[in-house]
Each structure stands twice: as structure tokens, then as C-alpha cells.
Structure 1
Amino acid sequence: MTELDRHLLAPARLKLATMLTAVSEAEFAVLRDGLDVSDSVLSKHVATLADAGYVRARKGTHEGRRTTWVALSPTGRKVLRHHVAALREIIADVD
């Protein structure tokens, strides 16, 4: 059985990683609004995933204001695929 990844067990981090699969990178505010969390909560989740090597964050400007852009790393994509496979194994027998 494929193992679940401990960094992706928190629903918000799993959703964050999933959101990032659709784009090359996303603006912090877009992710915050999509997850419906505060700046501080998103910042902690991004930091956790960055420390694990699953995402990278870069500072920049957008429409004249400073912002952070977040992208899923190749390692993050691989780990997410394995995590989703493990979830599918777990629920395979659910009617």
C-alpha cells in the first residue's frame, strides 16, 4: 500500500497543492481566497510545504503592490500524485 504523506494530511495543504497543479504559479491572495483562510494561516501552510521542498515562493510586484507567488515543485507534484494514489487505495472498497 502506498503511504500517505504527513505534509499533505491537513486538508488546506492538500487543497493548496491541488490548486497549484493547474497553474505554473499562483498569487498569494488568489490562493488565500480560494482556500478561504487568513494570510497568516496560508503563510504557515506555504512555509510547511516549502520546508518540505514541495512548493517554492517568490516575492514580486503585481499591479504596483508587493506580493508572493507560489509554485508547486517537481518534488511536490510527485509526492502529491503518490498521496492521491494512497487515498484512492484507502477508498477503493467504499460503496
Structure 2
Amino acid sequence: MFYSTVDLLAEAVQEADWVCVQTNSWPLPEEEAVALVGRIKADGEAAAESLGDKVRFVLRGGSKLRWHIFAESQVFLDNDVCIQFVPRVLGGGA
């Protein structure tokens, strides 16, 4: 049986309070990274809708805020979104 990404996310959320999707998008060209994040966002929203629930996203970028973190962040912007860039503090842990 083939499961779509939406089905897999919906199933995972039914068994846990949260789900992590790690992309390692930094080596991708910016356009591909933004498209990947857009697909993940759309799939997450569809999974939440299929369950009659809402979804919240946390986009964790590299600690140096380089590559295309700002372009990827744009995917999540709308009227109800707050984006914070929190730098890592040396000696403060991982």
C-alpha cells in the first residue's frame, strides 16, 4: 500500500504531540530549498486539515544564518506568523 506524505504525517501526529521533518536543505540551490519547504508546509497543513486540527511550524536553520534561511522563512509568512531569529550563544549549549 502506498502512503502519501500527507497520510504519513497525519498518522505520525495521531501517535505523537509533534513531528519533526529534517530537510538539510542548505546544500540545495535556493529555488529547490524553497520549493522543498513549500511542499512540507502544504503537506503539513493538509495532514492537519484531514484530522480537523491546526499545525504550527518551527523552522530551524543553521546557527550562522547563512545560505537561504531567509528565503525559506518567507514560505511561512502570513498575518498570523511571528518569525524570530535566535542566535546561538557560545558556551550556552547546543
Give the number of the structure with larger relative contact order, counting CA–CA contacts within 8 Å between residues 6 or more apart.
1
> TM-score, normalising length from structure 2?
0.35
Q: TM-score, normalised by structure 1?
A: 0.35
Greater strand share, 1 or 2?
1
